[in-house]
Amino acid sequence: MNVAKMIDHSLLRPELTTDDVRRGCEVAGRRAVASVCVRPSDVELAVAALAGTGVLVGTVAGFPHGDARTATKVAEARALVEAGADEIDMVLHIGRLRDGDGGYVHDDIAAVAAAAQGRTVKVILENAYLTDEQKVLGCHLAERAGAHFVKTSTGFAPGGATLADIRLMRAAVAPHVEVKAAGGVRTLGTLLELHAAGATRFGATATETILDDYAARERGEQPPTPAAAVDGGY
């Protein structure tokens, strides 16, 4: 199992400096994770920092609330693609999903997916604000709109990824649509439990701790008790 290639190393906290982002990209490149997920203004920096590493550059649109106009999300997605982003994690319109306005939610996602020009699009539902029925509807709409992933959370809401939500989301979408867990994935144990439930990608800030613990486990060692991680948007 290549745990590193399941991790999107998150660099989304608003207070991060450019030096912080560079250091985070260095971690992502050195640990050969799947991607780094940076703020929109940091995409060019990340593209340059990760050139030749094989680590993808991800970023966000409509983040973290999802309530921007569709035209704004589309313009953002187009600009991010032009800047070199490989993946875009967009937040659907949470309020319209709670309204049951499936047409709006579908069209909002579909417009961003088209603007992404074939790049991977992950749709964030922000499950902390949704009922199970709304979560399932959001997954169905994201799949029909062309999303490649459905994702639990931004990391900025009151709750993050749960085992029950991963199971629910995995069952709600076809096999070709993947599930990303984000928000509270701070330990190897949590990652492996959520992976067993169906998640294939994980937003994380505690990347080095998780990977060090996995390496220790592979060597047959007892992993150390993990230090408390600072929640950084995932």
Q: Rounded CA gap, 164 and 161, in Å?
A: 9
Tokens 């569709």 sit at which residue?
70
Q: Residues 8, 42, 86, 89: which is the catalytic one?
A: 89
Indicate if 180 belongs to the active site: yes
Q: Residues 73, 135, 151, 213: which is the catalytic one?
A: 151
* Backbone dihedral angles phi then psi of residue 203, each to the nearest 5 degrees: -80, 130
Q: Is 92:66 a contact under the CB 8 Å cutoff? A: yes
Q: Rounded CA gap, 124 and 20, in Å?
A: 25
User: How many C-beta atoms surround the C-beta of residue 179 within 10 A?
Assistant: 27
Indicate if 89 belongs to the active site: yes
Which amino acid is residue 130, in one-letter code?
Answer: L
Token pair belonging to 136? 């399932």
Residues annotated catalytic, as ranges: 89, 151, 180
